Structure 1
């Protein structure tokens, strides 16, 4: 269930980035591809680059913490095997 939710969120972020990148003269394919693989981090960076600095930085910080927790959780799980 969690993987499906993450995939759906990535799809929505990809669509958002692809549509809005053209408004700011950015490459929509690049932003869509990055958004699909790195979703929240890419969305935060896009918002920072398009003058939505506060919300962009909040997303970057939150996604960095989440990625860190996921990495620590995976390392802990693997070390307990």
Structure 2
């Protein structure tokens, strides 16, 4: 989660929306007070979670044993949470 001033959010809205689409949560502030929170759409987030679970299940079928390190590595590849 990161914070950004309202005036800066207005200027950089397209980039902020791209960041939220990738899973970032952004708090918009005015005079140091939080006034809004941009969060990913729930349906989209659910889809990403379902894809991650499917990927883990596919990995488990291809290998006999998967270490915790391998699972964490696969979780972090190409995803920002």
Q: Name the TM-score class by shorter chain.
A: 0.3 to 0.5
Greater share of residues in strand: 2
Structure of greater Rg: 2
**Structure with the higher fraction of residues in helix conformation:** 1
TM-score (normalizing by structure 2):
0.36
